[in-house]
């Protein structure tokens, strides 16, 4: 169910400034802000830990190395 909310001009301007693209709705902007404060899932935490282990073990490629490999 959709509803309307009332916000001040100052908040409306702040939301407008946070849009990543012109047609992004204020709802999308608000969800993006909420997502930034949410707890990471256990799966995500595990994947981050695995990625850190791989990086420490040297299992990564730099952007410059990928460009060189691709001939860019």
User: What pLDDT was estimated at residue 7?
Assistant: 93
In a shared domain, residues 22 and 33 = yes
Residue partners of 45: CB distance under 8 A and separation at least 6: none
User: What pLDDT was estimated at residue 27?
Assistant: 92
Residue keyed to tokens 């595990």: 46
Q: Judge whether 32 lies within some domain.
A: yes
pLDDT in tens, 21-70: 989 999 999 999 998 888 888 999 999 999 999 999 999 999 999 999 99
User: What pLDDT was estimated at residue 51?
Assistant: 96
User: What pLDDT was estimated at residue 37?
Assistant: 85
In a shared domain, residues 70 and 47 = yes
Residue keyed to tokens 């946070």: 18
In a shared domain, residues 55 and 31 = no
Q: Which domain holds residue 27?
A: 7-38
Q: Judge whether 64 lies within some domain.
A: yes
> CA dist 22 to 45, 48, 62, 67, Å?
33, 32, 33, 32
* Tally of domains in the chain: 2
- In which band, very low, low, confident or very high, does the pLDDT at 3 lie, cut at 50, 70 and 90? confident
In a shared domain, residues 47 and 58 = yes
């Amino acid at each position: 169910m959709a509803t309307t909310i009332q916000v001040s001009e100052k908040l409306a301007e702040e939301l407008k400034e946070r849009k990543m693209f012109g047609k992004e709705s204020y709802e999308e902007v608000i969800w993006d802000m909420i997502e930034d404060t949410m707890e990471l899932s256990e799966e995500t935490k595990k994947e981050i830990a695995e990625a850190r282990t791989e990086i420490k073990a040297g299992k990564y490629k730099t952007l410059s190395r990928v460009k060189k490999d691709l001939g860019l």
